[in-house]
Amino acid sequence: MVVDARGLPCPKPVLKTKEALDAVGEGVVEVLVDSEASRENVKRFAERQGCTVEVRKEEGYWRLLITKGFTCQVPSVSESKKKVLLVLSDSMGEERELGDILIRAFFSTLKESSQKPDRIILINRGVFLTTQGSKLIDVLKELEELGIEIYSCGTCLDYFGLKDKLMVGKVTNMYDTVEALMDAEDVVRL
């Protein structure tokens, strides 16, 4: 089965891949994508479903060969991730100058806290915290080194023209965001 997801916006390549994997039972699904974000999102999704993924660079696009049904299952998000921190802004509160101070203090304190999230998802203006020019890059890298997954919304990065300026974490899509939030034991919104 071949899924041509070239030119489709997030999260459609992942949704079309899910549809194909649900239909195939066991076997190989080929997915064609033409953006790096889609390539990574589809690959990550398929691997979370217990599939193996081979990525081949073609002229102007990628071909992902996804094999289902012949490998061991990888734990799903619901089995391995319990706490999610959802970051909606690059500041805390209404007062911008104070909010910048507070957000830096929050993440510096989080690093030292005994309670940490398993995953941090940044959407809307939150993606400014993971991109070039952010004063939190070093702190976020330290959190990542502690095993906390950090994901920035690909659509948001595109919207703000920051796609090539991501400095920490990975790009995610709305499908993965919805799955992580719905599977989480605890979601903290910041």
- Residues involved in catalysis: 10
List, in sequence order, every residue forming a beta bridge with 188; answer none if it has no partner. Answer: 85
Cα separation, 107 vs 20, whole angstroms? 40
Give the C-alpha separation, 20 to 15, whole Å. Answer: 9
Q: Identify the burial level of 8 via C-beta atoms within 10 angstroms of its C-beta, where 0-12 means exposed, 13-18 middle and 19 or more buried.
A: middle
Structure tokens at 114: 């005994």
Q: How far apart are CA 167 and CA 87, in angstroms?
A: 16
Backbone Cα Rg of the chain: 18
Angle between helices 174-183 and 12-24 (to 10 degrees): 70
Crossing angle (nearest 10°) for helices 36-48 and 174-183: 30
